Structure 1
Amino acid sequence: MEQPGRAVRTRRVRNIQNSSLLLIFIICVVNYMDRGTLSVANPLIRNELGLSIAEMGVLLSAFLWPYAFTLLVAGAVVDRGKPRRVLTVSLIVWSLAQAAAGFIASYGQFLVARALLGIGEAPMFPTAARVVKDWYHEKDQALGVGIWNGAPSLGTAIAPALLTPIMLVFGWRWMFVLMGGLGIILAAVWYGVYRDFDAGTLEPMDRHYLYDGGEIPEARPVQAGAWGKLFGFRTTWGLILGFFGNVYIGWLFIAWLPGYLEMQRHMSIPKTGLVASVPFLFGLVGSIGGGFLADRLTSRGMTAIASRKLLTVIGMVAMSLATFVAAETASNLVAVASISVAIFFGFSASGTSWSLANACAPSSYAASLGAIMDFGGFIGGALAPMVTGFVVQITGSFTPALLVAGAIGLCSAAAYVLFIPAEPIPSAALAPSLA
């Protein structure tokens, strides 16, 4: 619904919003299905390659380390190279890496394939953030972000249910190959449909909707000196440290939930494929709900930063407390319900974190700041599967790993409170390097 007092979107802008958001949502679903193939095939791959639980933890993290460090430059690449071209290349690279995993002959080759998958996928979420920043009014952006940010939850939810039967019928290798082929098709569709934002083509009503009738921010290409200055702001470090805990807990569940249900809760592989899907369906609802509520709070007078920061902190605290409950309960039902609550609030906090980064970012730096935040998150995400694997191998239980994750989440909630001020990073602070 359009907010009173603001211009109505033209049909052209509405069509661009709908088509681009739908495509991004689908691509993000496939993105997380690709990431989840290894978790789904965890027991079969361990048996075929003779891997220990600790070695599997390292393999689960092999995607995340190169992904995290590639994020540092991926945002700047998106801001400079534009979403249409960058995401097309990104999709092709990660899909070829995904398909290649079906042909590996050794543990070392698998590590390389997963690393290339991480490098290829890095521009995905900075691209999504930039598209929403370009084509949505500030007061509509949180819901747009919440929709695409919920796609990973859906992708993770349906991955076990859809991929487990394919794996059991055709084998885990063909599962990887088929997912790679799907990604190549999506690359062609994205390139054929999406067109980058161009202020020169905007009609007067478009400008009035997007900028409240004000001046269009000057589009300046991202340069290394200005990009580096982002690390001099408390806001940037608040986003890095805050997102660390969110992704740490999230990737503990994404990487190890099937294994946790099998090893600690003693469920069969077919049952695990079904039960592991349930908690992530709640993540989709949480992400969209958080975005909707953030936009409502903004429309009622809160600043964009204040509304998103408040909901992010609430989500992080709730996610952490639910993780503690999952760690300590003896009931399988309570454990799955608690993990569902944790993922609901985790994805709500994730979506509002991305829209918080958009609200804090200087003009032309939305993808850059979002990618830097995501880098911090995926340092946590890279550590979670590996640390969990070693802890479970040493202790024989997932309980200590879940307790550590909950504590990290509370510390990250505090980082949002302590580090992120009420005002965005000023564009003028980066301007000298752009001259």
Structure 2
Amino acid sequence: MSNLRSTDVRPTPGLRHFQTVTLILLVVAGLLNNLDRSALSIANPLVSHDLQITPSQMGLLLSAFSLVYALSQLPVGLALDRLGARLVLGCGLIVWSLAQAFCGLANSFSQMLIGRAVLGVGEAPHYPASAKAVSEWFDKDRRGGATGVFLLAGTVAPAIAPPLLTNLMLAIGWREMFILLGATGVLVGIAWLRLYRNRDTVDVQAGMPSRRTGISLREWAGLFRHLNTWAMIFGSAGVIYTIWLYMSWLPVYLQMERKVSIVSAGWMAAVPYLLGMLGQIAAGLLLDALARRNVSLSLSRKIPICGGLVGAGVATLIAAYTPSLTVALCAISMSMFFIYFANVGTWALAGVMVESRYVATMGSLLTFGGYLGGSAAPVVTGLLVEQTASFALALAISASLAFLSALIYAFCIRL
């Protein structure tokens, strides 16, 4: 594809209804998804104390989720493009919620490790399913904004997680917090199964394709023969590495590196994610504006991706070496703005670089690469902090990977 054009079909009331329902459900599921994956980083000090877990072991717990999450992407994309988002995401929601509740009952490092691994399996369908749902219910020139909306949960949840989960944890205990999150997720999973519909099961006279054709294993394997696929896989690693470093360690960074109290760290950690939310909104608006002006697919996606990655890298380097808490918090906030700006671009790219029936598979490969690389962030950071008693080197490594990913997207993606 070389051009991005509107279908010039006015959405019918039926189509608008399903578009609205789809986005609301995706945002709610995304909020819960990111609250669940943030819970352990918030509860890190108390869990470490109660279960006698060292920083390097905590790094393994945080990485266990992301590593299993990454590996689960390979079968998940194929399942989504064959079975649809309704069944796969609905079952995933329930599985990850039960795993979250299990973590609240864990009495040892090994039990918590099992819970985190199953959490990774259950959460794996969420983002590829979201990309597929958007590709089915929205025209190409409107997917940028819709993508930005469902990705908003990825910054809203981490923004509210530190103050919300910190106060909840202090009020009822970390175990009860995990169990409450799990019970809520089961209810959301049931709601998704009851309310969401795959595009091919509904006729809304929208002028959009309504028939889903699942891809074969041979077609799936054929994607790996293209440079674009490998560029997406490796390029995404720099994006997710930075996101996962902050999601895993930001509250502890503020407490250890900047000598902030646990309560103050909870509120301060929310600020960078508010900037990340603004970055996602700005990226979605920019993507749709570029599409309406017939800017090429390649350039319209590379602008937010590469610009965001370079900006995040520069800001992260400033945070690594400044002696000022204020400057560090401002730099981390700008890093989050730029990295989430870039993240929207990567998902928007996945939504247009292949035809609709491949979108979930491409989204799963994007996530596979991102979280395979990102899974290193918690454990590498934990080991470096344990050895150096500082986060400076860990942040510098993250910045370097962001610069490298910008080069991959700039020069290896061809549309």
User: What amino acid does structure 1 have at the position aligned with 2:9?
Assistant: A
Task: Evaluate the alpha carbon distance shift between residue 325 and residue 34 of structure 1 in structure 2; reply closer, same or farther with a 3 A threshold.
Answer: same
Q: What is the distance in 1 between the residues matched to 2:394 and 2:143?
A: 35
Take 2:213 and 2:62, find their aligned partners in 1: how far apart are those partners?
39
Task: State the AA in 1 paired with 2:401.
Answer: I
Amino acid at match of 2:110: G
Q: Secondary structure at the match of 1:292?
A: helix
Corresponding residue number in structure 1 for 2:146: 144
Name the residue aligned to 2:175.
173
Counterpart of 2:165 in structure 1 is 163
CA distances 1:267-296 after superposition (whole Å, capped 9, x unpaired): 111111111111001111111210111110
Do residues 84 (structure 1) and 94 (structure 2) align? Answer: no
* Aligned-partner SS, 1:397: coil
Residue in 1 aligned with 2:228?
235
Partner of 1:299: 292
> Which residue identity lines up with residue 414 of structure 1 in the other structure?
L
Describe the SS at the equivalent of 1:266: coil
> 2:215 aligned with 1:222, yes or no?
yes
Give unpaired runs (5+ residues) of structure 2. Answer: none
After superposition, give the CA deviation of every residue in 1:295-340 in whole Å (9 maximum; x if it has no partner): 1001001123320122111111111111011111111111111111
| Alignment counterpart, residue 61 of structure 2, candidates 59, 62, 65 | 59
**How much has 1:359 moved relative to structure 2?**
0.8
Match of 1:37 among 36, 39, 42: 39
Q: Paired residue for 2:338?
A: 345
Once superposed, which parts of structure 1, at least 4 consecutive aligned residues long, lie more than 2 Å away?
3-7, 216-220, 303-306
Does residue 376 in structure 1 map to residue 376 in structure 2? no
Distance 2:226 2:303 in 1: 20
Q: Give 2:395's aligned residue.
A: 402
Deviates more, 1:91-100 or 1:279-288: 279-288
Q: CA deviation at 1:7?
A: 2.6
TM-score by length of 2: 0.97
Establish whether residue 358 from structure 1 lines up as the match of residue 351 from structure 2. yes
Secondary structure in 2 aligned to 1:364?
A: helix
Give distance in 1, aligned partners of 2:349 and 2:325.
35
Indicate if the aligned counterparts of 1:53 and 1:389 stay in contact, CA closer than 8 A: yes
* Equivalence map 1:20-31=2 (5 Å): 20-31=22-33
Instruction: Say if 1:305 and 1:359, in contact at 8 Å, map to a contact too.
Output: no
Report the secondary structure of 1:41's partner residue.
Answer: helix
Could you tell me which of 109, 114, 117 is aligned with 1:115?
Answer: 117
Gaps of 5+ in 1: 211-215, 424-435
| Distance in 2 (alpha carbons) for counterparts of 1:299 and 1:317 | 26
Question: Is 1:390 equivalent to 2:383 in the alignment?
Answer: yes
Paired with 1:99 and 1:4, the residues of 2 have a C-alpha distance of 45
Q: CA deviation at 1:149?
A: 1.0
Q: Name the CA shift for 1:411/1:367 in 2 (closer, same or farther; >3 Å).
A: same
SS of the residue corresponding to residue 375 of structure 2 reads: helix
**1:130 maps to 2:132:** yes
Matched, 1:262 2:255: yes
Q: For 1:153-191, what per-residue CA distance to the aligned partner results, in whole angstroms no more than 9, with x for missing partners?
A: 111111111111111121100000000001011011111
1:217, distance to aligned residue in structure 2 (A): 8.6
- In the other structure, the counterpart of 2:411 is 418
Contact persistence 2:14–2:204 (CA under 8 A): no
Deviations 1:72-120 (A, max 9, x none): 1111111111111111100110000000111111100100000000000
Q: TM-score, normalised by structure 1?
A: 0.92
Number of residue-to-residue matches in the alignment: 411
In structure 1, what residue type is equivalent to 2:161?
A
Find the aligned partners of 1:304 and 1:291 in 2 and give their Cα distance: 14
- 1:54 touches 1:390 (CA, 8 Å); kept in 2? yes
Deviation track 1:387-407 (CA, whole Å, cap 9, x = no partner) reads 000011111110011001100
Residue 188 of structure 1 aligns with which residue? Answer: 190
- Secondary structure (helix, strand or coil) at the match of 2:76 reads helix
Deviation at 1:4, TM superposition (A): 9.1
**Counterpart residue identity of residue 69, structure 2:** Y
**Aligned sequence identity (%):** 38
Cα distance in structure 2, aligned partners of 1:217 and 1:300: 28
User: What is the Cα deviation at residue 379 of structure 1?
Assistant: 1.0
Give SS of 1:325's match.
helix
